[in-house]
Amino acid sequence: MRERYKEGSARSAKNILSVIEKTKADNEVILVFLHRSVDGDCVGSSSGVVSMIRALGGDAYVAIPESLPENMSFLKIDELFFQPDSDSDLAKEYRTNGTIGGKKIGAVVACDCSEGSRMGICGEIFDSISSKIVIDHHASVTTRSDNLWIDPDSSSACEMVFYVACQMAELTGKELKDILHPNAAKAVLAGIVTDTGRFTFKNTRPETLETAGMLIDLGGDISEVCYNLFDRKTKQKFLLSAKARSEVKFYCDDKFALTVVPYSQFVEYGAGPDGVDDVVSAMRDIDGVELAIVLRQLESGEIRGNIRSQEYFDCSKFAEGFGGGGHVRAAGFTVKNGDVIEIAEEVIKRVQADI
């Protein structure tokens, strides 16, 4: 194990083992939380933690604020999820009496985020539980305690979770394959692939590639992961993506690229909200572009901004101005309600002041 991961992963593993024993004794369930606008890293890291907890006899679910994106259906991990506002039996039970599978919530873990405000409809549940463990790699996290492992230098929360799994195997005397089952290993690999851009981003370190190799040995199929997350598209998504790209506008001497996707276009092309996920990175890769932003309007009225930059623009700092967050080179934000054109005008004005 890489030395830089030892202390944080060992502490997190011991914390998780402690809450497993407590919740087993008290007949309680553990919920693992992720951020809204779910992506491969938050899904993979949270699924990995649930796999560990269940493998060691605990009861756990991922509390997800929205449906899993269609391009992640190949992971086959739906049974790990609890969506509070869905029509599932678990959700109905929780809304009726506050229990999940007949158990009260005894502890919570957050992966790839640390604040309830970023968890959508699940945030209220997270904030209501005092016993919290956090595994995150966002530099914007300011709180520190023994229950938090924050490593902004890590490629992804999934890479951190892998090292937690290694420590848990060591502490319990189990094989790693018994801690991370094949589908969970595939989900963790998917998160690393997502946050490293198929191992092309600067956050890809030697240990990142080593971790990916071990996850492949555990059941992660790198070809299947990359194809489904990056290459496979429905006709509807292909056409919507082409439309969004055709309407890109350039500002600040062509250093800033912006496209706006109103909800009416999702309806017109019959594509879901993830239909333009590939656009922002393609815009950033245009010669001369430093900053790329995609604004998409959802059926709920929310407006989501995805931000990517090349060398010097701080995406995380910019996103924080709209109540969001993320990384220096990749971040996002959500505006609850508003006119997408007015939000775009405000984004342009702020970028012109910063770039």
How does pLDDT run across 26-50, given as a tens digit for each residue? 999 999 999 998 999 999 999 999 9
Name the pTM for this structure: 0.91
Q: What does the pLDDT read at residue 355?
A: 83
Cα separation, 215 vs 127, in Å, equals 32
Nearest to 186 by CA among 220, 213, 215, 211: 220
pLDDT tens by residue, 265-296: 999 999 998 899 999 999 999 999 999 999 99
Q: Find the helix or strand (DSSP H, E) in which 192 lies.
A: helix 182-195
* Mean pLDDT of all residues in 2-15: 91
Q: What does the pLDDT read at residue 348?
A: 98
Domain layout of the chain by residue ranges = 3-229, 235-354
Percent of the chain at pLDDT exceeding 90? 90
Nearest to 225 by CA among 5, 37, 43: 43
Whether 131 has a pLDDT exceeding 80, the answer reads yes
Phi, psi dihedral angles at 92 (to 5 degrees): -65, -40
Cα separation, 226 vs 236, in Å, equals 20
Q: Which two tokens stand for residue 100?
A: 């999940």
Q: What does the pLDDT read at residue 164?
A: 98
Q: Superfamily for 3-229?
A: inorganic pyrophosphatase (n-terminal core) (3.90.1640.10)
Class of domain 235-354: alpha beta
